[in-house]
Structure formats: C-alpha cells, structure tokens
Amino acid sequence: MSGTSTIACERTAAESESRGDTSVATGCVPTGRRIAYIMSRFPKLTETFILFEIDTLDQMGLDVAIFPLLRARNSTTHVEAGSLLKKAFELFKRPHTQAVMHREAQHYVDRARFTPLLNWPIFLAQTHFLLRKPRQYFAALATVLRANWGSWNYLLGGLAIFPKAAYIARKMQEEGIDHVHAHFVNHPTTAAYIIHALTGIPYTFTAHGADLHVDQHMLCEKVGAAQHVITVSDYNKQFIIEECGEECREKITVLRCGVDTSVFQPALSNGSQRSEAKPLTIVCTGTFYEVKGQQYLLSACRLLKERGIEFECHLVGDGPQRPELQQQVGSEGTTAHVHFRGQLTRPQIADLLQRADVAVVPSVPTKCGRREGIPVVLMEAMASGLPVVASNISGIPEAVDHERTGILVPPRDAPALADALERIARDPDSRARLGQAGRQRILQDYNLHTNVVRLAGILTGQEAV
C-alpha cells in the first residue's frame, strides 16, 4: 500500500475513533485515483446519502470531482418522478422559500462543475468528438434514441443531456478522471453511459427506488456497459436480474445506503424512560409526495384522537402535496396535534428524533409504479434508537424485521398504522426493545462509514483491505 493510502487510512481510523463509533471498519483502499460523481441535482437537501457518501470518500483521501446535471433550487415545483426537462424549468422559476442547505454541502457546491444545457464550449465538445471519434459519438446517440424510444421522459431527457455529457466527457479526460459513479439509474447513468462510450472511462451506478421501478428503458444497456452495478436492496437486485437476465447477477452488488451512527444516536430519555403523562411524539420525515404516504399517517392520527390517545405528530419536509395534507389535517380536526416543521438540516432532524418516541415511514407504491427503496429516514430513526412503524413493501422489510427491529404494516392501511402506534404508546417495554434492536441492525448493516469503505473498494477496482 502506498504512503498516501496509509495516511488516508490512518486518518479515517482516527476520525472514526474520535467519534466513538467502534463499528466503523478500519479497512483501507488505495488512493490517488480520481473519481467523478454524477447526480441529477446538487445540492439536494433530501439526498443526504449522496452528500455524506462523497464527504466520507473525501475524508478517506479519495479525490472526488462532482458533475451535477443541474443545480438544485429550493422550490415546491418538484413534481414526483419529474422529467429532467421539468427539473430544468425550475431554474427559471422563483424559489418558493429561502434555500436550506446542509452545512457540509457548501464545500462541495464550491467544488462542483455546474454546466448549462448548451453554450459555446459544449458546442466545441461536439466538434471534438465528431472529428476524433465519430463512430463512438453516433453509436452512443443511436443507443440513446433506440433504447429510450417509447419513453418521452427518458428520450427527451437523454437527448437534452447528450451535448452536456459530451462536454463533461471532454472535461473528465482533461482532468484525468479514472472512474465515473452515477447515483440513480435514469438520467445520471445515461450521462455516465455516454461518457464511457466517448472516452472509455469505466463507470458504475447506484440504483435506488423510483429511478429503477418506474421506467426500465435503456436499463439493460446501462447494466451491460457498466463495470459494476450497485443497488441498495436485495429486492432491487432481483428486479434488475429479472429485467436484464441471469448473466448480470455477478455484476450486481447490494450495498446499503448508510447513516452516520455518531450523529444519529439514542437520547437517554428514549425508550421505557418516556413519561406516560407526556403525549406520544411521532416523527415522519419525507418530501410531500404520493409515494411517501403521509396522508395515511394523518388518517391514523385521527383514529388515535378518537381512541383518546394523547399525541403530537411532526411532519418534516415540504413538497407539492403540502396544501392537500394541511387541508386534511383541518378537515379531520387534528390541527392541534399535527405540526408541519418544514425542511430541516441533519442536526435539526437528529435533535428532533432524540426527542421523539416513534418514527413512521408510511410509504406506498404509486399508480405509475414508483416505490421506495429503503428510505434513509428509516435508517436515521432506527440509528436514533426509535421504534419504527413502516410499510411492508419493496426493500423496507430487509431493514425492518417485523416484531424484532420494528413494526411492519400493509401500505395504505391507516387502521393498522393506528393500532401499531397505540401499541407503542401503551407498551414501554416493547418500545424500548424495538428501538434497541433497530439501532443494532443499523450498526451492523447500514453504517455509513463501513459501507463507504466497501464502496471505495469497488470504485477503485480494489477490495478493501
């Protein structure tokens, strides 16, 4: 191992020890390689898993360059599973509220290579590849056209980002990028595919939830060209194999998203020490989209009120369904119990979870096929020692073992949600047992630092040692 690698390993181990997180792997990976990250929007408040994954790789000594397709803005115009073109239109709209950004994001925003959809340097990049690699250029363009035919979102989005991707490919060549990693299998991985086709730079991608389940156009081409495929759940891995064939099984690795267990940790007042005179404090974090299922939690809150259970429910987030949810609260008479907290930073969410009694993740599959992977907010709550009540869909049961590390309920079942919350309110022993077991599950399988060491091994083409 090189001297640079040794220094990076020692630094990572020292930082882990200073956090008191004994579960963090002390393994190391070679540094000196340049890794490029591609995502749709950056910095996006709700995609903390990308930000802190990059931050952890950076702490390990890897040189990470960030190439967002768009600059994120703070507005409620984000439509659920919106196309890249609709996201681009947000750039011309007035922000809905003052921007909320994680403190750690500013450093990476300053480093990110933001580019417009089209300008003179982008035009020159097309000329460069047309003159030097015309066959590769037209072959990649033909694949984007052929493989996305029938999906307006992917077809128009792919054509829109093609010139930008060619420009980014040229920049990556100039900067000596060794590997490209894309988060989400849709537009970011399309860009990674184009970059690979034009330059030969290998790429990997991480498939999460809706990006995989809603639309599978060009999925098999992306899997076939990728050096490695990462996904967050066994459910997703099997889904990809069924779509693309058994021959891709060995190329796919299940690598859980993780959370920083030194930031999200139990408070002394959690579990059985909660005063029974205190209202049950419920937390639900997530963008106000249909797939998040908050309306069913609000219906469960109405049932809790009818049963005479004292509670307060905190909804963290924002989004296009906020007016509907607020109207539901008013019509169901739970205004005094339900609080809309807006967008919060990671320390604010960690503090709220430490003061809560239970977290609810009421996810539902949507009509267009969108569904969650394994929500990071679920991991954050479990890491905080909270009992969780979550929907029994997609990859969620891989994290929540029913009656052992949490409680699973059918999606869209408000009475089942209410029954589970009533049990949490009335049974302090069960509350403490589920919370402690959930914390141990996160430490074992969903620890950010442990999992990023494994990811770094994949991105550098080396096993962690």
Superfamily of domain 271-445: Glycogen Phosphorylase B; (3.40.50.2000)
| Whole-angstrom distance, CA of residue 339 vs CA of residue 357 | 15
What is the arithmetic mean of pLDDT over 453-459?
95
pTM comes to 0.86
Give me the residue spans of the domains in the chain.
Answer: 27-255, 271-445
Task: Tell me what pLDDT residue 32 has.
Answer: 72
User: In sequence order, what DSSP letters do the residues of 109-177 get, joined into one string?
Assistant: HHH-----SS-HHHHHHHHHHHHH-HHHHHHHHHHHHHHTTT-HHHHHHHHHHHHHHHHHHHHHHHHT-
Q: Is the pLDDT of residue 74 over 60?
A: no
Identical fold for domains 27-255 and 271-445, yes or no, is: yes
Q: Residue 28's pLDDT is what?
A: 58
Choice between 70 and 17, residue whose per-residue pLDDT is larger: 70
CATH number 3.40.50.2000 given to 27-255: yes
pLDDT at residue 262 tops 80? yes
- Per-residue pLDDT tens digits for 178-215: 999 999 999 999 999 999 999 999 999 999 988 999 99
Strand ranges of the sheet holding 388-391, from the earlier edge strand across to the other edge: 338-342, 311-316, 280-285, 358-361, 388-391, 407-409
Q: What is the pLDDT of residue 33?
A: 86
Model confidence at 16, pLDDT cuts 50, 70, 90, reads very low
Write down the pLDDT at residue 29. 56
Distance (Å, whole) CA 426 – CA 418: 12
